[in-house]
Structure 1
């Protein structure tokens, strides 16, 4: 099973070009789509989920034409959007039962077995009779995955699923996604680098509507190995370093500003070598793309 995206482009009526000639091959398993807010991730997800039309390009899920056979795609699609609303006064059991009925599970016994299985799979069985409005953020996200799994989908799209979750809920959600990804295509769209590092063997980085890097996270990280340097500076010095070096990221530690610089050689003796990780790859690609656009 494979999803083939070729030369996909989308420009909105306000002139914003959300997708620019996007080409990706997404195999079975977990695939991470990483990018900052406004990068085009949600536009791509909505297009793949048949919620909006592309201007040009093609998308094939095996032999299914995703852009032109929307009804067929929807039968095998599970989708958890970034903004996932629920009916606050309805229980998760009744809501899943209703959604299963809408998706064509007409046999009452089959529907009961399916709903109970999904509630157990997402660890919601113990709160199955509570109204959705009383659920925590993590519980709502797990319910979102439960409804996305109805119909035994071959393609599952989750858009920013862990944003706002506490650490414990993120771990539970990661474990659930990893289990699901063993038997289907799961596209995880996020701006959280750690989510991709923990879950995905394949990924792409998107910025300003364009794919700027793609491949295995470990292989992408190898490309910057030995080229990342770090130094603690005073905040007022940041602009000076940004003007003279390729500063790819900054963060605070114990009240000091730590900068990461990308350079083939040690910038000067005050810099220490930093073990490269996927976050360095991400920021290097994003800053490089932003500098190209602003130049």
Structure 2
């Protein structure tokens, strides 16, 4: 049995989406999960069903996930930080304080699209911050960094229901430690900016946490819990998130680059991060606000 979860901020679009899915497939029961969220149930193969749903919903502002009903509720959440759990790319915002945002943002965009190797791109961008006062880190966090809508609810709801929540970022521990605390993550992993005499040196600590390290974190955390990657939900937006997204039982592309959206199990382009709870079969009454 498959669950077909439809999520949208537009109630009228949800009605249209439900009708379109019912016209395209032989659907059995349905369950209302919350405002703008609905589960439909059908027999079939997930890949073929996903293709049918994708065609049926074309043009509608509706996110969806197709998956087996069994093991929908994941016991590990592993999430990217920049542009996923938070609203910005911290390195780009730091670069603004150094007066080099345009140059750094262009490299970031290419790296997130998979056009540049992450490690080299990170070293190049951090190098442009050489001499920046470490005070800029706190100013950047205070002035620019905000949790994306639904992030805190996602993390705290999964944690309340027994899931372990890990924030794993190619960014920096200065930010992940604060974001993890604000959102309710149990742990965070990221890179370290090297500083001396109150200024950034333009270097980053080794080893660099990138694509393979994110995948390794997923494998390590599931193993520690006595689980497998099938028990994990991974979410991110850039090319360095792709390995963990593909390996997880449910891998979600959030407002993602095309290379990630094309290969993720599901994507969220319209709803907020609570869509990931609905995808797991949570109802709104279970959410921790």
TM-score, structure 1 as length reference: 0.24
Q: TM-score, normalised by structure 2?
A: 0.25
- Mark the structure with the bigger radius of gyration: 1
